Amino acid sequence: MADTPNLPAPLDSREQHILENLQQLRAALNLLKQDRTTYVKSSDVMPLHEQVLVEVKKLADIRADKPTEDNQVDRVLDGCFQLLSLFFMTIGRNNEAPAAYALTSTIKRLLDHLIEVDLYSEKDLAHCSQTLERLRHIVKASDASYSPYLTTQLSNRIEVCQISLTTLQERLARLAPELVPIHEKLISILRSLSLANTKAKFSTTEVKGLQAQIQEVDATRVDGKFVSTNGDIPAGNDDVCALLNKGLRWSEMVLERKGVFPEPFNSKYQTLVDIRNKLEKLSLTQAWSLRETDLYDVQRQLDRIDESRTDGNFVDADGNFAELYVQRTLLYLIRRSYGYIYYLMVSSEPVSEALLPVYNQLQTLKRCLLEVKESGGVSSPRELYPYSMKLNSLDNMRVDGKFMVGREIPEGQGSVIELLSECFDLSYDLRVAAENESEKE
């Protein structure tokens, strides 16, 4: 999370010493993050992880009688854990407890925003629920391997997220089944409106088309209410009607502004658009261009903007609150960016970045072989030669059955070898099918 100056400095001199040590460790982690001359290895990360845990143990002993203390030490420690968590993903140790830390931070941000804006569907919650359950299993399985402080803290963070998730699920439960599809459609249209509003080139035609979709839903109401097939007003009618009216007002506002942003907030708007666009690009090229630790600086920048609000509102340099149009647009960009960060984290493969070039080539090869199979296979085994040559060249990279980088055995061997086996199996099946077809002819 962001470094903010409003947290007090530690009063206890022993904590001051811990703060200095943690700041040095965070600086070391930042240096490692910035080094692109080589792959990050477990041997780079684990010593720093152990040193952070030493400071955590000291802090826990000092605070035995004051567990609610919160000062600059906690913020710097959070930064260390965030970085370590992303490093664990980078080296392919996604299924170990430290990797869960960054995800819990992002999920909490996402859920807090959903509670604030009350604009979400069951699909949004289902994925978060599955991820939290997976993190629970990871933390539980790591109990014996990691510091009790870390696993207890992670369990608590997961449960805090679960409380927020349950609140959101209870809100959705108030809708009658027949209103759920209407609710989901309106959510989708509202998001499309917000996306159209923040595009580099504003399209009046696109926005009017979305407005027409809301008007079509509006036309299904009877005397301003949604009515079920038996003539009753279903539960949640007022909520869905409020959402529909919000959509109509928002479409009018977007058409009126045409993407022009007021000067006092334009700098913040441009920063958020740049962050959103950068994350969107990463989400499209993730397999080839993402080092998970790259997300740290982006999320810290986002957190700072999010935390700069006063009573939930953005304010300009003179302390004036943002108008509704500005507020909604900036919040949409923040939520969208956190959504991309979440997607990039959960999509991270449990493979070290040192093995990612091989893993990504195998992923591409598997997709090609599947497409060949689904399109009817090959007419001759000779057509499989390019695939076989590529497969054999990747297989020949192994030393004693393992993919090596220098003298290192990077994490994720199992995932890469399993993928290699799947490709060989697909290639074999295609060759056998082609040979059988040739014999018949």
Taking residues 386-394, report their average pLDDT: 94
| The last residue of a domain, from among 216, 233, 260 | 260
Q: Which domain holds residue 431?
A: 356-440
| The last residue of a domain, from among 260, 291, 325 | 260
- Per-residue pLDDT of 168-188, as tens digits, reads 999 999 999 999 999 999 999
63 is a domain residue: no
Taking residues 232-251, report their average pLDDT: 95
User: Is pLDDT above 80 for 7?
Assistant: no
Going by pLDDT thresholds of 50, 70 and 90, the confidence category of residue 441 is: low
Q: Does residue 342 contact residue 302 with C-beta atoms inside 8 Å?
A: no
Where do we find the tokens 């903007």? 305
Whole-number Å distance between alpha carbons of 272 and 339: 13
- Per-residue pLDDT of 421-440, as tens digits, reads 999 999 999 999 988 877 77
User: Is pLDDT above 90 for 371?
Assistant: yes
402 is a domain residue: yes
393 is a domain residue: yes
Q: What is the pLDDT of residue 230?
A: 85
- Per-residue pLDDT of 128-163, as tens digits, reads 999 999 999 999 998 788 888 889 999 999 999 999
- Per-residue pLDDT of 15-72, as tens digits, reads 999 999 999 999 999 999 999 888 899 999 999 999 999 999 999 888 888 777 788 9
Average pLDDT, the chain: 92
429 is a domain residue: yes
317-321 CB contacts, 8 Å cutoff, 24+ apart: 317/264, 318/264, 320/264
Task: Give the chain's domain count.
Answer: 2
User: Is pLDDT above 90 for 78?
Assistant: yes
Q: What is the pLDDT of residue 427?
A: 94
User: Is pLDDT above 60 for 5?
Assistant: no
208 is a domain residue: yes
Q: What is the pLDDT of residue 281?
A: 92
Going by pLDDT thresholds of 50, 70 and 90, the confidence category of residue 109 is: very high
333 is a domain residue: no
- Per-residue pLDDT of 279-333, as tens digits, reads 999 988 876 678 899 999 999 999 999 999 999 999 998 889 999 999 999 999 9
Taking residues 72-85, report their average pLDDT: 94
426 is a domain residue: yes
| The last residue of a domain, from among 260, 277, 300 | 260
Tell me what percent of the residues of the chain surpass a pLDDT of 90.
77
Which pTM value belongs to this model?
A: 0.90
199 is a domain residue: yes
Q: Write out the DSSP string of 162-224.
A: HHHHHHHHHHHTTS-GGGHHHHHHHHHHHHHHHHHHTSSS--HHHHHHHHHHHHHHHTT-BTT
User: Is pLDDT above 70 for 2?
Assistant: no
Going by pLDDT thresholds of 50, 70 and 90, the confidence category of residue 6 is: low
Residues 6 or more apart whose Cβ sits within 8 Å of residue 232: none
